[in-house]
Amino acid sequence: MSAQLLISGVIFGLSIGSIFFLMAIGLSLCFGLMRIISLDQLLYYSIGAYITYSLSLATGSVWLGVLGGLVVAGIAAFAVERLVFRRIYERELTFSMITSFGILIGGIGVIKFFWGVVPRPVPVPMMVQIDIVGTEVPVYRLIVIGIAVLVYVGIWLFLNRTIIGKAIRAGIENVEHVEGLGINVSRLFTITFIIAGALSGLAGGLHAPLIMVDPSMGLEVLAFVFMVVIIGGLGSIKGTLISAFIVGQVVSLGSLIYAPLAQMAPFAIMLLILLIKPTGLYGSALLKR
Amino acid sequence: MKAFRWWWGILLAFALLAVARVFLPLPFVNEVVIFSIYTMGCSFLLGRVGLISFGQPAYLAVGAYGTAFYMFYFGANPYIGILLGVLSGLVVSFIVGPLFVRLRSDYFALVNLALAVIVFYLMQKVLVGITKGDNGLWFLTSIASTPVLNLGKPSHFFIFALLVALAVWAFYKYLDDSIYGACCLATKINEDKLRFLGYSNYSVRLLAFVIANTTTALAGAMYAVYLGFVSPEISSPSRAADPVIVTILGGVGTLYGPIVGAFAYTGMKDVISKLIGNWELFIGFLLVFIMLAGEKGIWGSLQPLLEKLLFRKRSTTGTADSGEAHR
């Protein structure tokens, strides 16, 4: 394998990993704090992508579209949390899984209703390529990686330096104690859910120019996002980041070696990791309260 | 009399299905019967053992390909084909079962999904020399006609499918009544207590996993013979949640839930996609509604009403019986 192919493969893997990370972080936070598995994050991802498509068509700026996607996805997440999840926090894990899956397919139906079933292209906002050790690399992919790193730093600062973030971290350990300290846990849940939804929307908006936008795009990445969360360990942000980049590299470099490997290798790795360490790389033995 | 009381629910259900055959198109009822067998495995896992699996298509595909390989390359007898499909499902679930049932329920769901994806790509890309990739294996014309029930004919196939489904339901009803069925419920509700009673949670779950997935493989084998062809599409991850949806729709863990659910789901899919062409919207929100309304499903909500009706009837017949006994 030539060095040029390798470098572009690694960059491709990192940018795919960044998208996976942005989506998985929401799932991971939701599981950690509320103990729900929120499959509807994939709906906010599709919403983000579609809003990006429509706004970039209307205003000509993809970046504005991404911003709009982030906001609309956050609003949708807020509505769903208020209407549905509020009622099911105390239920079993499988319960939230099935309910959120219902929201996901219902939402796909809504998207089909508004935008139709035809895949839509979104223009790449920056066509510039730069030279890294003799390889032409698209700047847009580097920006995607940069945004993911920024989000990681931002989330880290939020969780470690602000009162709400500290309350969220404490809530992951023990919600009753946080409630006992006089913090409004139900508002904490809402804030976390909105953050998760908005980040999924951001992932959708950033991913839109790299692929075609179609209604079932959420289902296509579902398996990969879950794999990222499982390999990293449910409820751990650091594990999510590391496993997102592992999965990204496996998908990208695997497809360079042997094309069908790109889809299968990550699953094989996930099975292997789960058999060795059933809670994932950084997961603790978090159980349903 | 006792035997009749045990059987009458199942017989009534399948008699109704047989009557439905007269009014509804044949492909529809065939689809319903096979789909309800497919769902039965998932319903047993979810409702009785508490394991949710988003990877049922994997076992469906194993059964379907087990049959298809035999039918395409070796022989022509559909009965042997179905038997081999079931056997391959049994073998595969015995291989993966010990690894999977140790996992926690949320991981279990996702590992099964991963298996479905692996099987999908295995059949679509890796084993393309044997499976013919996306084109699939076609063997409809080479199905040998058998003396009593000719499975190549859809009308004969319906009778066969009905008999198989009857056997499957009787088997699951028997399981529900047995001590093993009680152990399954116990491992769902309180595994510590079951361990305290001296049973192994692991082996109870493993047996349930094997039983459920062999049932799923049976459905796959029947799909293969019914359609006369098998393609990787059968284990497509995008259809992974179908059996879960049907299970919830019918009523989790109930005996007749899968039939009612399969009937409603297949019917709604046909009717709604004809009317508004956007049935995901409807199914999705129906699913959320059922979950919020207490996850009873269609059969789960109907059952108490029916029992009330029947109970009133039975109480009158009951007094009549005792009156006879006195005489």
Query: How many Cα atoms within 13 Å fall on the side-chain side of residue B301?
Result: 12
In a domain, A253, yes or no: no
Helix (H, G, I), strand (E, B) or coil at A130: strand
Is A102 close to B287, i.e. CB distance below 8 A?
yes
The residue behind tokens 């409004």 is A184
Residues of chain A found within 8 Å of residue B278, distances taken between Cβ atoms: 109, 112-113
Residue-level pLDDT at B237: 67
Q: Which residue of A94, A105, A260 is in closest CB contact with B283?
A: A105
Question: Please, which residues have CB within 8 angstroms of residue A19's CB and are 6 or more apart in sequence?
Answer: A144, A148, A203, A206, A207, A221
* Nearest residue of A to residue B114, measured between CA atoms: A267
- Does A155 contact B at CB distance below 8 Å? no
Tens digit of pLDDT per residue, chain A (289 long)? 577 778 888 888 889 899 999 988 888 888 878 888 888 888 999 999 999 999 988 888 888 888 999 999 999 999 988 888 888 877 777 778 888 888 888 888 888 888 888 888 888 777 777 777 777 788 888 888 999 999 999 988 988 888 888 888 888 878 888 888 888 888 888 988 999 999 999 999 998 888 888 887 887 787 788 788 888 877 778 888 888 988 888 888 887 777 767 767 777 787 788 777 777 777 665 544 4
Percent of all residues in chain B with a pLDDT value above 70, rounded to a whole number: 92
Q: What is the mean pLDDT of residues B95-114?
A: 80
Cβ–Cβ < 8 Å for B105, B97: no
Is there a contact between A51 and A205 (Cβ–Cβ < 8 Å)? yes
Q: What does residue A136 show for φ and ψ, rounded to 5 degrees?
A: -80, 125
pTM over cut 0.90: no
Output the furthest CA–CA distance in chain A (Å, rounded): 60
The chain A residue lying nearest B188, using CA atoms, is: A92
- Residue that is written with structure tokens 């595969």 in the block: B92
Task: Look at residue A186 and tell me if it is in a domain.
Answer: yes
The whole-number pLDDT of residue A285 equals 56
What count of other Cβ atoms lies within 10 Å of the Cβ of residue A163?
A: 8
For residue A64, being part of any structural domain is answered with yes
pLDDT at B320 over 70: no
Q: Provide the number of structural domains found in chain A.
A: 1
Q: Which residues pair with B230 in a beta bridge?
A: B137
Report residue B86's pLDDT band, with 50, 70 and 90 as the boundaries: very high
Question: What's the token pair of residue B252?
Answer: 């989790």
Q: How far is CA A178 from CA A60, A151, B93, in A?
A: 46, 26, 44
Q: Which pair of structure tokens corresponds to residue B116?
A: 């479905």
Q: Which helix H or strand E contains B261, and what residues bound it?
A: helix B257-275
Which pair of structure tokens corresponds to residue B11?
A: 């017989």
Question: Is residue B317 predicted with pLDDT exceeding 50?
Answer: no
In B65-81, which positions are buried (b, 16+ CB within 10 angstroms) versus exposed (e)? bbbbbbbbeeebbbeeb
Kindly indicate whether the ipTM for this predicted assembly is greater than 0.85, answering yes or no: no
Question: B132 to chain A, minimum CA–CA distance in Å?
Answer: 15
Q: Which chain B residues touch A112 with a CB distance below 8 Å?
A: 278, 280-281
Q: Which of B41, B46, B76 is nearest to B220 (CA)?
A: B41
Q: Which of A94, A107, A223 sits opposite B284 (nearest CB)?
A: A107
The amino acid that residue A119 corresponds to is P
A157 assigned to some structural domain? yes
Q: Which of B43, B45, B52, B117 to mutate to test the interface with A (most CBs of A within 10 A)?
A: B117
Q: Is A227 an 8 Å CB contact of chain B?
A: yes
Instruction: For chain A, say whether B102 makes contact (Cβ under 8 Å).
Output: yes
Question: Helix, strand, coil proportions of chain A in percent (round to 5)?
Answer: 75, 5, 20
Q: Residue B82's closest CA among B67, B95, B97, B96? A: B67
Distance between CA atoms of B10 and A286, rounded to whole angstroms?
42
Region of poorest pLDDT, from B58-67, B182-191, B288-297: B288-297
pLDDT surpassing 60 at residue B324? no
Amino acid A289: pLDDT: 42
pLDDT beyond 60 at B150: yes
Residue A254 lies in a domain: no
| Pair B113, B237: CB distance under 8 Å | yes
The whole-number average pLDDT for the span B38-62 is 86
Domain that holds residue A51: 21-218
For B107, the closest of A106, A223, A230 (CB atoms) is A230
Whether B284 and A108 lie within 8 Å, measured CB to CB: yes
For residue A223, being part of any structural domain is answered with no
B170 to chain A, any CB pair closer than 8 A? The answer is no
The amino acid present at B311, given as its one-letter code, is F
Question: Residue B210 contacts by C-beta under 8 Å, 6 or more apart in sequence?
Answer: B90, B93, B94, B97
B114 contacts A227? CB cut-off 8 A: yes
Give the Cα separation of A117 and A108 in Å (integer): 10
Highest mean pLDDT among B31-40, B139-148, B247-256, B279-288: B31-40
**How far is Cα B39 from Cα B239, in angstroms, rounded to an integer?**
13
Within a domain: residue A13?
no
- Domain assignment present for residue A39? The answer is yes
CA distance B306 to B295: 18
Q: Which residue has the higher pLDDT, A140 or B114?
A: A140
How far A269 CA lies from chain B's nearest CA (Å)?
10
Distance from CA of B19 to the nearest CA of A (A): 33
DSSP string, A50-87: HHHHHHHHHHS-HHHHHHHHHHHHHHHHHHHIIIIIHH
Give B60-90 as a DSSP string. Answer: HHHHHHHHHHIIIII---HHHHHHHHHHHHH
